Amino acid sequence: MKKVIAIDHGNKLMKGIKTVFPASFVESNYLPTIGGDHLRFGDKSYILTDESLPVLNNKTNCERYFILSLYAIGKELENDGEFVKRYLPHSTHAPHVNVELLVGLPLQHYETFRVDFAKYFKKRIDVISFELNGRVYAIQFDGVHVYPQAYAAAITAYDRLVDSRVLNIVDIGGFTIDCLQLNKFKPNMNLCTSLYRGVNTLFQSINEQIRSMGYRDISENIIEEIIKGDPAVLSEYSQKRIDVITSVTLAHVNRILAEIEQKNFDLEEDKTVFMGGGSILLKDYILQTGKVKKPIFIDDVNANAKGYRLLYDMQNGNGDNRRNHQADAGSDLDESVYGNAGGDSTNPINLDNSTPQEHPSHSVRHNLRHNQGT
Of all residues in the chain, the percent with pLDDT exceeding 90 is: 71
Nearest to 108 by CA among 161, 164, 32, 171: 171
Residue 151 pLDDT exceeds 60: yes
Q: Given pLDDT bands bounded at 50, 70 and 90, which one contains residue 107? A: confident
Residue 222 pLDDT exceeds 80: yes
8 Å CB contact between 158 and 96: no
pLDDT in tens, 23-41: 999 998 775 555 678 999 9
pTM: 0.85
Among the residue ranges 121-130, 210-219, 323-332, the one predicted with the least confidence is 323-332
Mean confidence (pLDDT) of the chain: 85
Question: Residue 319 has what pLDDT?
Answer: 57
Residue 320 pLDDT exceeds 60: no
Q: Given pLDDT bands bounded at 50, 70 and 90, which one contains residue 14? A: very high
B/e letters for 151-186, b = 16+ CB within 10 Å, e = fewer, are bbbbbbbbeebbebeebbbbbbbbbbbbbbbbeebb
Give the whole-angstrom CA distance, residue 151 versus residue 314: 15
SS (H, E, C) 122-154: HCCCCCEEEEECCEEEEEEEEEEEEEECCHHHH
The whole-number average pLDDT for the span 194-223 is: 94
Question: Residue 28 has what pLDDT?
Answer: 81
Question: Residue 356 has what pLDDT?
Answer: 32
Q: Name the more confident of 208 and 53.
A: 208
Question: Residue 51 has what pLDDT?
Answer: 83
Q: Tell me 321's DSSP state.
A: G
Question: Residue 338 has what pLDDT?
Answer: 39
Give the whole-angstrom CA distance, residue 306 versus residue 8: 9
pLDDT in tens, 336-347: 333 334 444 444
Question: Residue 54 has what pLDDT?
Answer: 85
Give the whole-angstrom CA distance, residue 367 versus residue 118: 24
Residue 364 pLDDT exceeds 60: no
Question: Residue 85 has what pLDDT?
Answer: 79
Question: Residue 367 has what pLDDT?
Answer: 36
Of all residues in the chain, the percent with pLDDT exceeding 70 is: 82
Nearest to 153 by CA among 169, 173, 176: 169
Question: Residue 75 has what pLDDT?
Answer: 96
Question: Residue 47 has what pLDDT?
Answer: 93
Q: Given pLDDT bands bounded at 50, 70 and 90, which one contains residue 239? A: very high
pLDDT in tens, 247-302: 999 999 999 999 999 999 999 999 999 999 999 999 999 999 999 999 999 999 99
Query: Cβ neighbours of residue 13 under 8 Å, at least 6 residues apart?
Result: 20, 21, 22, 23, 173, 174, 277, 301
Q: Tell me 39's DSSP state.
A: E
Question: Residue 10 has what pLDDT?
Answer: 94
pLDDT in tens, 64-85: 999 999 999 999 999 998 888 7
Give the total residue count for the chain.
374
Question: Residue 83 has what pLDDT?
Answer: 83
Residue 100, beta-bridge partner list: 4, 143
**Chain-centre distance for alpha carbon 371:** 27
Question: Residue 46 has what pLDDT?
Answer: 94
The whole-number average pLDDT for the span 83-96 is: 74
Give the whole-angstrom CA distance, residue 308 versus residue 299: 17
Residue 362 pLDDT exceeds 60: no
Among the residue ranges 52-66, 212-226, 262-276, the one predicted with the least confidence is 52-66
* 3-state secondary structure (DSSP) of residue 281: helix
Domains of the chain: 1-156+302-374 (3.30.420.40), 163-299 (3.30.420.40)
